[in-house]
Chains A and B, each alone.
Chain A
């Protein structure tokens, strides 16, 4: 048993909200940089150069990469041998978000009620996903999600008979419909299997997987490769103004499912695919 004061969680989450909104993870930055060298459209190359410059300014001047600093999505992988003291864990997480968005000059984009829409003015509540894991550590992932791309995400409840071709069509349909709205070049997170909500969560989790990490299953690796090629044949391009770089990556996660179903979720993220990870 390891005792952990929740104040430590608050402090880490505060710092991670600020970090994620000003600095892209190295795998994302690398892919964006590489795309500027391979893009076929002149305007597309110019836009990708601007995105490089944007990242540089964000880091140097401490100004958020994008003004939509997102709704904070937080994955908590909590070791079952951890005992929290000093307060309620959930309160500590929300306090970290509150402080991070205030001290980091991040935009407050959360409304209290989906219909009445009064801004909570501190960007809380965050959306938190807990997972109990072996050990005595806590692994935190903070992934602020912008809604330009979130709004273009989709769930398809396919039939088993639709098979892998159905999955491909679903992903391509979602990306085509998203087009310029999702701020391409995008990262496409895909969840296949599980239940209605499980596949959505898989798709969200897929967005946090490092772009250079390959999946274990061979057919998933192949599917990611094919879908990325086909998406980049669509011509949407950087900012949707035409070109060969529509997506930087397709990340797929799978899970067992029911004999009667084939759920597919497509969670689209813009080129500002933010996530910070820490273990405490």
Chain B
């Protein structure tokens, strides 16, 4: 089912999404990948304040290529989400409602999605030029020294994603592969 929804994500919207839904996101999201997650984990371990609120927000696992003049961003597709599996459950427990990335997640992340009524979206990997057209503004809000790995606030319009893991434990990667796998007959 195709849906247009706004981000940050309301509890009831997140709860209504189902694996396989094709969704266009409009609003504000934040980027963070490996190095930013490591720093946020260190802050949490030390009892400090994170550079962004987790509640109802969506994190996009993405490090863009540099923007050409007059453009908000360069190529902007998803990176592999599993590298953030170690950090994601703690952020979900703080209210993070959604993550955008690509690829499989751990059992711990899936459990945290169900526990917190959150969702995991996939954007199409390797379609960074196309996806950049749905980004209308990009501002670094923390960790500028990390370059492409800095935390950015993105304004997005009709950003295309697919719900892969929902808040009731469905996983499209498992069900879809099962649906299309067939025996090799030689």
The residues of A with any CB-CB pair to B shorter than 8 Å are 40-41, 43-44, 46-47, 50-51, 53-55, 57-58, 61-69, 105-109, 117, 119, 121, 146, 148, 151, 179-181, 183, 226, 229-230, 233-237, 239-244, 270-272
Q: Is A69's CB under 8 angstroms from B65's CB?
A: yes
Of residues B65, B183, B186, which shows the largest number of chain A Cβ atoms within 10 Å of its Cβ?
B65
How far is B177's CA from A18's CA once the two chains are assembled, in angstroms?
A: 36
How far is B164's CA from A264's CA once the two chains are assembled, in angstroms?
A: 33
- Measured between C-beta atoms, what is the minimum distance from B23 to chain A in Å? 13
23 contacts between A and B (CB under 8 A): A43-B20, A43-B176, A44-B180, A47-B124, A51-B124, A63-B129, A64-B75, A66-B75, A66-B77, A66-B129, A67-B65, A105-B65, A107-B63, A146-B126, A179-B177, A180-B173, A181-B103, A181-B104, A183-B126, A235-B178, A237-B176, A241-B122, A270-B126
Which residues does chain B contribute within 8 Å of A180, judged by CB atoms?
A: 102-104, 122, 125, 173
Which residues does chain A contribute within 8 Å of B122, judged by CB atoms?
A: 180, 239-241
Of residues 130 through 186 on chain B, the ones whose CB sits less than 8 Å from some CB of chain A are 130, 132-133, 146-149, 160, 162, 164, 172-173, 175-184, 186
How far is B177's CA from A106's CA once the two chains are assembled, in angstroms?
A: 34
Q: Is B75's CB under 8 angstroms from A242's CB?
A: no
Q: Is A65's CB under 8 angstroms from B102's CB?
A: no
B74 at the interface (CB under 8 A from A): yes
How far is B124's CA from A274's CA once the two chains are assembled, in angstroms?
A: 18
B66 at the interface (CB under 8 A from A): yes
Q: Is the interface of A mostly helix, strand, loop or mixed?
A: loop
Q: Is A241's CB under 8 angstroms from B68's CB?
A: no
Total residue contacts A-B, CB cutoff 8 A: 170
Query: When the two chains form the complex, which single residue of A64, A69, A234, A241 contacts B181, counting CB atoms closer than 8 Å?
Result: A234
Query: When the two chains form the complex, which single residue of B71, B128, B173, B184 contacts A179, counting CB atoms closer than 8 Å?
Result: B173
Which residues does chain B contribute within 8 Å of A229, judged by CB atoms?
A: 184
Which residues does chain B contribute within 8 Å of A236, judged by CB atoms?
A: 177
Q: Is B102's CB under 8 angstroms from A107's CB?
A: no
The residues of B with any CB-CB pair to A shorter than 8 Å are 20, 22, 35, 62-68, 71, 74-77, 79-80, 82, 102-104, 122, 124-130, 132-133, 146-149, 160, 162, 164, 172-173, 175-184, 186
Which residues does chain A contribute within 8 Å of B65, judged by CB atoms?
A: 63-64, 67, 69, 105-107
How far is B126's CA from A78's CA once the two chains are assembled, in angstroms?
A: 33
Least CB separation from A51: chain B residue? B127
Which residues does chain A contribute within 8 Å of B176, judged by CB atoms?
A: 41, 43, 235, 237, 241-243
Q: Which 7 A-B pairs have the closest CB atoms?
A: A242-B176, A235-B181, A181-B103, A183-B125, A235-B180, A67-B75, A54-B130
How far is B176's CA from A44's CA once the two chains are assembled, in angstroms?
A: 10
How far is B34's CA from A151's CA once the two chains are assembled, in angstroms?
A: 14
Which residues does chain A contribute within 8 Å of B76, judged by CB atoms?
A: 67
How far is B129's CA from A67's CA once the two chains are assembled, in angstroms?
A: 8
Q: Is B103's CB under 8 angstroms from A179's CB?
A: yes
Query: When the two chains form the complex, which single residue of A62, A69, A117, A242 contacts B180, counting CB atoms closer than 8 Å?
Result: A242
Q: Is A242's CB under 8 angstroms from B130's CB?
A: no
- Measured between C-beta atoms, what is the minimum distance from B64 to chain A in Å? 5
- Measured between C-beta atoms, what is the minimum distance from B159 to chain A in Å? 13
Q: Is B104's CB under 8 angstroms from A179's CB?
A: yes
Which residues does chain A contribute within 8 Å of B126, judged by CB atoms?
A: 51, 54, 65-66, 146, 183, 270-272
Which residues does chain B contribute within 8 Å of A44, judged by CB atoms?
A: 180
How far is B176's CA from A179's CA once the two chains are assembled, in angstroms?
A: 12
- Measured between C-beta atoms, what is the minimum distance from A114 to chain B in Å? 13
Q: Is A57's CB under 8 angstroms from B129's CB?
A: yes
Least CB separation from A151: chain B residue? B80
Q: Is B180's CB under 8 angstroms from A237's CB?
A: yes
